[in-house]
Amino acid sequence: MALDYNDKSGNRYAGMRIWDRPTNASYDYMLDLLKEIKEAGENKARVDSLYKLWNEAKGQGENGVERMFIGSKNEVAQIQLKDKKGNVRARLYIDDTGAAKMEFLDEKASVIAVFPR
């Protein structure tokens, strides 16, 4: 879980994020890789090899996946629920008119249902 704030490139969000982390992999490994990447500095070959290890571990789910966001994105208060791949599948938010809306999305992020209609 993390409380997070980001403001760059015209996008702003603040909120709480919740991740699922695997029980069969140590998060220390991922933190050690980040530390090594930082320490590698200008050594491009070393940085590239470390990023390769990072991406392999991430691809195997060792970094975990964000499952929930509660907060505000670009001035839209919302709750997002995500599947095991980190894709938004349900979103409850307040639109520009102040009305509450709930959307359900498919695996391709297409809205398949909206309430109220």
Q: Which CATH number characterizes residue 81's domain?
A: 3.90.930.1
Q: Which domain holds residue 108?
A: 1-21+67-117
- Same domain flag for 52 and 85: no
Q: Do both 17 and 71 map to the same domain?
A: yes
Counting the structural domains of the chain, the total is 2
**Phi, psi dihedral angles at 63 (to 5 degrees):** -90, -5
Element spanning 58, H or E = helix 44-59
If asked whether residues 72 and 54 sit together in one domain, one would say no
How does the average pLDDT of the chain come out, rounded? 92
Indicate if the pLDDT at residue 73 is higher than 90: yes
Confidence of residue 28 (pLDDT cuts 50, 70, 90): confident
Whether 79 and 43 share a structural domain: no
23 in Cβ contact with 64 (< 8 Å): no
- 72 pLDDT tier (thresholds 50, 70, 90): very high
> Whole-prediction pTM value?
0.75
Q: Partners of 104 in the beta sheet?
A: 90, 113
pLDDT category at 29 given cuts 50, 70, 90 is confident
- For residues 53 and 82, membership in a common domain is answered with no
111 and 76 part of one domain: yes
Q: Are 56 and 72 found together in one domain?
A: no
Question: Within this chain, do residues 85 and 74 fall inside the same structural domain, yes or no?
Answer: yes
Amino acid at 28: D
CA distances from 80 to 49, 52, 71, 72 (A): 34, 30, 9, 10
Q: Are residues 42 and 82 in the same domain?
A: no
Helix (H) or strand (E) holding 104: strand 100-105
Per-residue pLDDT of 98-110, as tens digits, reads: 999 999 999 999 9
Whether the predicted pLDDT of 26 surpasses 90: no
Same domain? For 80 and 114 the reply is: yes
Q: Are residues 76 and 56 in the same domain?
A: no
